[in-house]
Amino acid sequence: MMEVFKDIDQGSQEWLNMRLGLITCSEIKTIRADGAGAQTYINGLAYERITGESSAVFAGNQWTDRGHELEPMAREAYERKTGFKVEQVSFIKNLGFGYSPDGLVDDNGLIEIKAKQPKDQIAILRSGDIPKEHLDQLDGGLLCSNREWIDFVAYCPNLPIFIKRVYAKDRIQQIEKLNELIAKYNVQIEDVANQISEMY
């Protein structure tokens, strides 16, 4: 059953606690790669399920901090450009994983905002395409939210905003495979957690 959480600051302890032991959309690309990185991710999530504590310390960096600062500006620019009002929510849990959307739009949409460096924003504007490295997260957002579309938003101050819509109906095959993959990895995480718990 889908759970939507509001009025919880992203990055707060309460927000971090909601994510413990859960596959999240920001790491979909890790499990899609299905390699050593995926197994490391599984180990971390198994630890969180066993202990109820985070397996990582998020030190952040200058660029991610800047991304957080620019997100409200990007949201406002999106609203001006499209005429939509964006509803902010903190976290969505559904189908055994979680997602922190950058906003819900209308009754059937949502947005995913990426703050970009100037050279990257111009590259996106010139190509008119969503960078491939973001498609896994968009698929995850559509699956977790059960919404019909997601607007990818690339933003950089002093440059035009880039908005491109992705419809769930056009990504059915990728989304179905992702759903199967999440189920598979949740079983693995639980198996690892059980294996380690038996060693106490």
The Cα 179–Cα 31 span in angstroms is 12
pLDDT, one tens digit per residue, over 89-135 is: 999 999 999 999 999 999 999 999 999 999 999 999 999 999 999 99
Give the β-pairing of 149-155 and 109-115.
parallel
% of the chain at pLDDT higher than 70: 94
**What's phi and psi for 155, nearest 5 deg?**
-135, 135
Lookup: tokens for 46 = 């198994």
Looking at the predicted structure, is the pLDDT value of residue 180 above 80? yes
Least confidently predicted of 30-34, 143-147, 188-192: 30-34
| Residue 72 vs residues 8, 34, 102: alpha-carbon distances, Å | 16, 34, 9
> Is the pLDDT score of 161 beyond 80?
yes
